[in-house]
């Protein structure tokens, strides 16, 4: 029954031949290669599990029993489901769904996600992985409805209508690993805060999480410490420490940790090393090449870029301050008497709270500052972006204006200081602090930490190119929202305040992939008003279905704890977006009456890996090329655009760097209106782009009210390795 060497070699040779035939004029060879690879998988799994490979799939109950015994699967599977229930679910497993995979999708699923034993022998097959995910995420549902919910989730996953994020895809149902994708922390301005953040980041990185960190509260270079002037070393040395943590604490032994650091453009260190952290020029002792950077941009800064003299030269001045000195000298307090800084205010639509405070700070003659032309700062940003792809842009006022849970902080007060590693998450944040240290009765030294809001993102994505044409968007969104909500209760996160925040707001991030694929199938050109209108319509539908699904979950299980006073509850969320059709009015009333399960619901992640498993195009990005070589450390083969034929070719042929990015921005503005969090949105530019042209793209993104932009990807850059935690 073991796989004979000659059989394996023949299959491998046939697979290689099929892969070599893949080309623009013969794209279907990818499915031939996939079927040959499936045969290899079936034979390997049958050999390890001792059944006849011609059956394709072996006994599902025996698989679970074996992998629990080997310590791969969690014993909770047997605790939640009886043998009879498992055998009933096994009847639902459909091997024919394996034929939906193209080669790269099947290869990546088998290489990275199918369960293997400790000797790396494959035991699990694709449809079993999907069923295990469905079982694991639905195990705490009510007994009378649980099996039907598992079958519904399996239906959506097996037919590639949706995917779950990489950590969930890899770890659901297993005895190790966690299920959430990314985390965001706020660093307090203290030695304790800085080192405790580093410890938390190390623990999360070990478990496979991507990290976003806000450093805007940490005092700047040359500030005082305990009254001693000029003693602070600023943010750069601490960021270098995090860089070393990211490198040394890798993700599940597979890749180094991935950390993004955000700083405000009004922080004094922004031009004193931060914008040069990843560039190749300057003092290497002040570099951090392995982290990613993001800048928090207020509307006022963008307005300063537009101030010009009679000759057209930009003359807008921009002042930067140390946050510690601002708190010392300005005397702003919250209702509990805590000192506030500039970072704690944002400009609302009806009152410019940040601008008022900024101008107060500028007018204070005792407050130290460094002053620059705003355009000089922007020029430094753009130079870094063209060399390294970063910093990311986080438009802080728009993010906070559109936050449905701003009531927690209060009017005009910042709730969201930065985004995550992939710029699609926007949730309430606050720093964790040590409030007491004491010795208990057993002589143990106890540190008491007051937990802040430590953001967690739980992700999954809808395959637009399959779900929209099939007319199943509503059904798939309902499945995805329930699965995501269940991740919150099932998951175990090593950092306690992250677990607490996760359950406080019950935030999830429902996203999409396959946008360019959908445009090609519908015969819609990327650079067209029709594409913008389609984005508006599709994402409005997704928003409607997601909010409705969360409302129905609230009826069944209760609302998130901070619902009262939120813009979901008051209806302001719907009014801001001008949702005034009959269906929206009805849903607005239902939410007010029944509540809502999840404080945030939608976020579009990059999802490169899982989009390939789904057989479609990455996220909301345009295609890299109609035909290209997919190359990683352990493989290289040709890939063509999905559903490529003489019709769709015309809608694929202008690839990423050839497209007018203004159209991409307009599409994203239409989609962003309907998304309560953010979008991982890249700008693709030629290496020869002029500074004014790149500046105009950033200004257009801001004018169109984008919340964030992700990488600036220049043709001169090597392909940027992304953290796969957010891929969903």
Q: Is 424 a catalytic residue?
A: yes
Nearest partner of 56 among 155, 128, 136, judged by Cα:
128
Given 182, 422, 457, 723, the catalytic residue: 422
641 close to 623: Cβ distance less than 8 angstroms: yes
Q: Hunting for tokens 């500028």 — which residue is that?
A: 362
Distances in whole angstroms, Cα of residue 181 to Cα of each of 39, 174, 178, 421, 487: 32, 16, 9, 10, 11
Q: Residue 456 is encoded by which pair of tokens?
A: 């967690």
Q: What is the 3-state secondary structure (H, E, C) of 45-106?
A: HHHHHCCCHHHCCCCHHHHHHHHHHCCCECCHHHHHCCHHHHHHHHHHCCHHHHHHCCHHHH
Token pair in block for residue 536:
């508006």
Q: Is 422 a catalytic residue?
A: yes
CA–CA separation, 598 and 595 (whole Å): 9
Active site residue 418: no
The three-state secondary structure class of 690 is coil
CA distance 487 to 137: 6
Cα→Cα distances 50→45, 83, 86, 521, Å: 8, 20, 20, 43
Spatial distance between the Cα atoms of 357 and 606, rounded to a whole number of angstroms: 36
Query: Which listed residue (243, 405, 420, 491) is catalytic?
Result: 420
Residue among 128, 343, 424, 540 flagged as catalytic: 424
Residue 679, beta-bridge partner list:
604
> From residue 489, how far is each of 22, 136, 728 by CA, in Å?
44, 11, 19
> Do 330 and 361 meet the contact criterion of CB atoms below 8 Å apart?
yes
Residues marked as catalytic:
420, 422, 424
């Amino acid at each position: 029954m073991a796989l004979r060497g000659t059989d394996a070699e023949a299959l491998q040779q046939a697979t290689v031949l099929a892969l070599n035939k893949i080309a623009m004029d013969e794209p279907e060879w990818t499915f031939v290669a996939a079927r040959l690879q499936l045969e290899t998988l079936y034979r390997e799994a049958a050999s390890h599990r001792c059944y006849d490979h011609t059956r394709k799939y072996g006994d599902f109950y025996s698989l679970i029993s074996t992998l629990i015994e080997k310590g791969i699967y969690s014993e909770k599977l047997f605790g939640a489901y009886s043998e009879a229930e498992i055998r009933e679910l096994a009847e639902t497993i459909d091997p024919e769904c394996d034929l939906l995979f193209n080669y790269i999708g099947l290869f990546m699923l088998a290489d990275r996600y199918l369960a293997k034993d400790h000797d790396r022998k494959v035991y699990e097959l694709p449809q079993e992985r999907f069923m295990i995910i469905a079982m694991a995420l639905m195990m705490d549902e009510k007994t009378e409805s649980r099996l039907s919910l598992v079958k519904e989730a399996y239906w959506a996953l097996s037919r590639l209508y949706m995917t779950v994020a990489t950590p969930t895809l890899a770890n659901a149902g297993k005895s190790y690993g966690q299920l959430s994708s990314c985390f965001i922390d706020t660093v307090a301005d203290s030695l304790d805060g800085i080192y405790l953040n580093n410890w938390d980041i190390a623990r999360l990185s070990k478990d496979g999480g991507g990290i976003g960190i806000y450093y805007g509260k940490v005092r700047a270079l040359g500030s005082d410490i305990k009254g001693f002037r000029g003693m602070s070393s600023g943010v750069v040395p601490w960021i270098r420490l995090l860089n070393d943590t990211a490198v040394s604490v890798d993700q599940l032994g597979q890749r180094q940790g991935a950390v993004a650091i955000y700083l405000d453009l009004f922080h004094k260190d922004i031009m004193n090393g931060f914008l040069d952290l990843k560039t190749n020029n300057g003092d290497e002792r002040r570099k951090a090449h392995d982290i990613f950077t993001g800048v928090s941009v207020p509307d006022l800064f963008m307005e300063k870029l537009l101030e010009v003299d009679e000759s057209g030269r930009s003359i807008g001045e921009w002042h930067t301050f140390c946050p510690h000195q601002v708190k010392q000298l300005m005397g702003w307090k919250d209702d509990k008497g805590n000192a506030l800084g500039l970072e704690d205010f944002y400009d609302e639509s009806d009152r410019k709270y940040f601008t008022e405070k900024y101008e107060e700070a500028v007018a204070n003659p005792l407050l130290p500052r460094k002053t620059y032309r705003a355009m000089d700062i922007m020029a430094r940003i753009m130079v870094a972006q063209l060399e390294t792809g970063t910093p990311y842009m986080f438009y802080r006022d728009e993010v906070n204006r559109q936050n449905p849970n701003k009531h927690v902080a209060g009017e005009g007060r910042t709730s969201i200081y930065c985004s995550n590693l992939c710029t699609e998450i926007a949730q309430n944040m606050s720093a964790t602090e040590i409030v007491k240290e004491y010795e208990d009765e057993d002589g143990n030294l106890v540190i008491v930490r007051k937990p802040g809001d430590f953001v967690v993102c739980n992700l999954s994505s809808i395959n637009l190119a399959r779900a929209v044409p099939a007319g199943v968007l509503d059904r798939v969104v309902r499945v995805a929202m329930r699965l995501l909500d269940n991740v919150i209760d099932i998951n175990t996160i090593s950092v306690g305040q992250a677990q607490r925040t996760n359950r406080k707001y019950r935030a999830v991030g429902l996203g999409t992939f396959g946008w360019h694929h959908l445009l090609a199938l519908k015969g819609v050109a990327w650079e067209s008003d029709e594409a913008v209108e389609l984005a508006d319509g599709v994402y409005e539908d997704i928003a409607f279905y997601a909010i409705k699904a969360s409302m129905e979950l609230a009826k069944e299980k209760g609302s998130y704890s901070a619902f009262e006073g939120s813009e979901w509850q008051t209806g302001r969320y719907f009014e801001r977006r001008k949702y005034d059709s009959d269906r929206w009015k009805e849903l607005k009333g239902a939410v007010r009456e029944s509540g809502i399960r999840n404080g945030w619901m939608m976020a579009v992640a990059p999802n490169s890996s899982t989009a390939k498993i789904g057989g479609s195009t990455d996220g909301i990005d345009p295609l890299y090329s109609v035909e290209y070589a997919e190359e990683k450390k352990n493989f290289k083969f040709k890939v063509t655009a999905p559903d490529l034929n003489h019709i769709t070719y015309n809608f694929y042929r202008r690839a990423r760097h050839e497209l007018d990015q203004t159209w991409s921005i307009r599409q994203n503005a239409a989609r962003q209106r309907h998304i309560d969090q953010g979008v991982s949105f890249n700008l693709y530019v030629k290496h020869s782009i002029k500074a004014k042209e790149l500046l105009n793209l950033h200004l257009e993104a801001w004018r169109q009210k984008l919340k964030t932009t992700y990488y600036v990807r220049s043709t001169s850059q090597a392909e940027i390795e992304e953290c796969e935690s957010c891929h969903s």
